[in-house]
């Protein structure tokens, strides 16, 4: 006897008779701990700044006064040291990116096996302490004039120690910034299919400078901003190398006036933090601004 198959209405009735399995409603996770973490982190950073600000504006016996801030711009060496630090930061960012971007792109496209070697070389400044680095630089600067005083290179040793923009500090800061620049750019290159972009641009007739400037760099905008972000913070806060070499950027100037004018030195420190945060905010905004890749030049389209 053939098995009887239920009709459509009977199947619907049977399906309705079967009780549906209860679905447990997900409870919303408590977010109280998130607010507590944010409050603690904010207090950790803001309370010292608030205490420093109170120290600069409250004078016992006089009340609240803003003399530490009004006299700041007229202080001897303030403007010069600040401009020097900003110039060193700009030169260091430019030199670091000029060295790192072509090297990492070449390794990524042409020689992936050399990546561990480049990584080790860029990470070496984390192993060598700044005091050892500045000792080596001082030895070279002392050796040069004694042995090259009758050669044209003697003028080079004088030029790199120019107080208006000491190139020797730019070179030293570039070495210190290499690990941070490498990590930022390497993460950006990993997130982009560089070989495919390069191959597509080259097949359309684009030159290598065009590929790097108009195809790769717009896709690395966030990584470039991150590298500049870290380099700027490093240069504005560096003290050891500049102090031992006898130069006076902003960090060294703050320490130099801390003994005689304590309130002004604290006011300068607060102002330097605000300036650094403002510059970092500008860099972060530059890194998140959407960009478009420029069209290929007319000669490239004709060649393709």
Q: Encode the chain (304 residues) as per-residue pLDDT tens digits.
A: 445 555 555 555 455 555 555 555 555 555 778 888 888 888 888 888 888 888 888 777 777 777 777 777 777 888 888 899 989 999 999 999 999 998 888 888 888 888 888 888 889 888 888 888 888 888 888 877 777 777 777 777 777 888 888 899 999 999 999 999 999 998 888 888 888 888 888 888 888 888 888 888 888 888 888 888 889 889 988 888 999 888 989 888 888 877 667 777 788 888 878 877 887 777 667 656 554 444 444 444 444 3
Three-state SS at 59? strand
Which sign does the torsion angle of CA 180, 181, 184, 190 carry? negative
Distances (CA, A) of 247 to 10, 187, 239, 267: 93, 35, 10, 22
R_g of the chain computed on alpha carbons: 30
**Residue 18 tokens, joined:** 């079967």
To the nearest 10°, the Cα dihedral for 167, 171, 176, 179?
Answer: 130
Helices (H), ranges, 65-129: 67-70, 78-109, 115-127
Question: Can you tell me the distance from the alpha carbon of 273 to that of 49, in angstroms, rounded to the nearest whole number?
Answer: 10
Continuous segment of H or E residues that includes residue 64: strand 63-64
Which sign does the torsion angle of CA 179, 184, 188, 190 carry? positive
Question: Can you tell me the distance from the alpha carbon of 137 to that of 144, in angstroms, rounded to the nearest whole number?
Answer: 11
Question: Can you tell me the distance from the alpha carbon of 113 to that of 96, in angstroms, rounded to the nearest whole number?
Answer: 23
Work out the burial of residue 76: count CB atoms within 10 Å of its CB; fewer than 13 is exposed, 13-18 middle, 19 or more buried. Answer: exposed
Q: What is the pTM of this model?
A: 0.74
Three-state SS at 58? strand
Question: Can you tell me the distance from the alpha carbon of 146 to that of 154, in angstroms, rounded to the nearest whole number?
Answer: 9
**Residue 89 tokens, joined:** 């930061």
Among 228, 231, 248, which residue's Cα sits nearest to residue 85? Answer: 248
Question: What 3 state SS string does 42-54 have?
Answer: HHHHHHHHHHHHH
């Amino acid at each position: 006897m053939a098995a009887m198959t239920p009709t459509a209405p009977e199947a619907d009735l049977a399906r309705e008779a079967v009780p549906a399995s209860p679905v447990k409603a997900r409870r919303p996770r408590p977010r109280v701990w998130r607010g507590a973490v944010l409050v603690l982190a904010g207090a950790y950073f803001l309370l010292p700044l608030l205490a420093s600000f109170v120290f600069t504006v409250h004078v016992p016996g006089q009340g609240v006064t803003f003399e530490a801030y009004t006299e700041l711009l007229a202080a001897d060496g303030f403007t010069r040291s600040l401009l020097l630090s900003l110039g060193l930061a700009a030169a260091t960012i430019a030199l670091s990116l000029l060295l790192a971007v072509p090297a990492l792109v070449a390794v990524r496209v042409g020689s992936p096996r050399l990546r561990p070697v480049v990584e080790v070389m860029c990470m070496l400044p984390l192993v060598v302490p700044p005091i050892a680095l500045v000792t080596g630089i001082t030895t070279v600067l002392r050796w040069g004039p004694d042995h090259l005083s009758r050669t044209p290179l003697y003028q080079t040793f004088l030029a790199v120690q120019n107080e208006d923009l000491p190139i020797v500090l730019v070179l030293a800061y570039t070495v210190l910034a290499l690990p941070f620049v490498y990590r930022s750019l390497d993460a950006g290159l990993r997130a982009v299919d560089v070989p495919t972009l390069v191959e597509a641009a080259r097949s359309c007739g684009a030159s290598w400078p065009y590929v790097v400037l108009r195809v790769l760099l717009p896709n690395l905008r966030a990584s470039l901003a991150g590298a500049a972000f870290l380099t700027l913070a490093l240069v504005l806060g560096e003290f050891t190398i500049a102090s031992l070499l006898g130069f006076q950027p902003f960090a060294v100037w703050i320490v130099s006036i801390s003994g005689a004018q304590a309130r002004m030195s604290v006011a300068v420190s607060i102002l330097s933090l605000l300036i650094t945060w403002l510059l970092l905010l500008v860099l972060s905004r530059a890194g998140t601004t959407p960009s478009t890749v420029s069209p290929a030049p007319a000669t490239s389209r004709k060649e393709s």
